[in-house]
């Protein structure tokens, strides 16, 4: 096994020792689908609002992982001097960052698969009708949200600050992104603001692809823009010690 592979496996075992993180990233999205599946009974109708529930579960889990878990973990490693000590060994700190990203992406994919399968097989939520659009939205959403999360980790001087900033962004994103409540029930100006947030663009892209249409170019462009801008800023500002 390569050095990066060994480090990824070790970091994954450390992640599993924190049951709260596992529940938040995988258990919570699945639980949301189960609860709303029991309440809404999606198999009994074709109301477009039904695309909200599985998309919301995915968006919530990914946002939790990207904006809360990842920044706090990396900032705590910097604060404890782990990155600085690694810089004196052949295991470069960049490999730790790669390992964290691989774990996060793997968890996001696992959560997505479980949400889709549990929702469809258990409660007859429809499968994403535009599969190509769903994949594009999911991958761009992951890239955009993790880029923002890494930017938080890059500028936060401590794990406490990273947690505070991440939690603030998380809850603001839920409100403006059409996650806390369906876009159909929000004032138009909030929906418009959400179109230009990474979580809002991600949520609307997921719902569009779930309903059978291609995500709007605006939403995909917003996700791509956050990926590039936040990703470059994170790379430029990130410090290992």
Q: For the chain, give the number of residues.
A: 241
Q: Which of 106, 96, 124, 97 is nearest to 26 (CA)?
A: 106
The CA-atom distances, in angstroms, between 183 and each of 152, 160, 203, 233 are 27, 32, 10, 30
* Per-residue pLDDT tens over the stretch 219-231: 999 999 999 999 8
Top-confidence range, 25-34, 160-169, 230-239: 160-169
Taking the C-alpha atoms of residue 198 and residue 220, their distance in angstroms, rounded to an integer, is: 10
pLDDT reading at 86 higher than 80: no
Decide: 136 and 215 in contact? Cβ < 8 Å: yes
Average pLDDT, stretch 207-217?
Answer: 92
pLDDT reading at 33 higher than 60: yes
Q: What pLDDT is attached to residue 142? A: 92
Which has the higher per-residue pLDDT, 2 or 100?
100
Which has the higher per-residue pLDDT, 218 or 45?
218
Taking the C-alpha atoms of residue 233 and residue 148, their distance in angstroms, rounded to an integer, is: 9
What letter does residue 158 receive in the DSSP assignment?
S
What letter does residue 27 receive in the DSSP assignment?
I
* Per-residue pLDDT tens over the stretch 130-157: 999 999 999 999 999 999 998 998 888 8
Decide: 40 and 53 in contact? Cβ < 8 Å: yes
pTM, full prediction: 0.88
Q: Among the residues of the chain, which ranges form H helices? A: 3-16, 19-22, 28-40, 52-64, 70-79, 82-86, 93-117, 123, 131-155, 159-176, 188-194, 198-211, 217-237
Q: What pLDDT is attached to residue 46? A: 62
Token pair recorded at residue 219: 């939403």
């Amino acid at each position: 096994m390569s050095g990066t592979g060994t480090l990824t496996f070790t970091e994954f075992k450390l992640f599993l020792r924190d049951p709260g993180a596992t529940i938040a990233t995988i258990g919570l999205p699945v639980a949301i689908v189960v609860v709303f599946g029991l309440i809404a009974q999606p198999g009994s109708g074709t109301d477009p609002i039904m695309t909200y529930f599985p998309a919301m579960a995915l968006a919530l889990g990914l946002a939790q992982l990207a904006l809360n878990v990842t920044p706090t973990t990396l900032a705590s490693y910097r604060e404890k001097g782990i990155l600085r000590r690694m810089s004196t060994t052949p295991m470069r700190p960049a490999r730790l960052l790669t390992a964290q990203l691989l774990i996060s992406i793997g968890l996001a994919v696992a959560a997505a698969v479980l949400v889709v399968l549990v929702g469809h097989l258990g409660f007859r939520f429809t499968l994403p009708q535009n599969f190509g659009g769903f994949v594009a939205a999911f991958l761009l959403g992951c890239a955009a949200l993790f880029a923002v999360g890494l930017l938080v980790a890059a500028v936060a001087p401590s794990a406490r600050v990273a947690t505070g900033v991440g939690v603030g962004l998380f809850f603001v994103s839920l409100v403006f992104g059409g996650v806390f409540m369906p876009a159909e029930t929000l004032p138009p100006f909030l929906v418009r603001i959400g179109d230009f947030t990474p979580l809002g663009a991600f949520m609307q892209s997921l719902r569009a692809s779930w309903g059978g249409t291609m995500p709007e170019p605006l939403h995909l462009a917003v996700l791509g823009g956050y990926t590039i801008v936040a990703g470059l800023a994170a790379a430029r500002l990130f410090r290992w010690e």
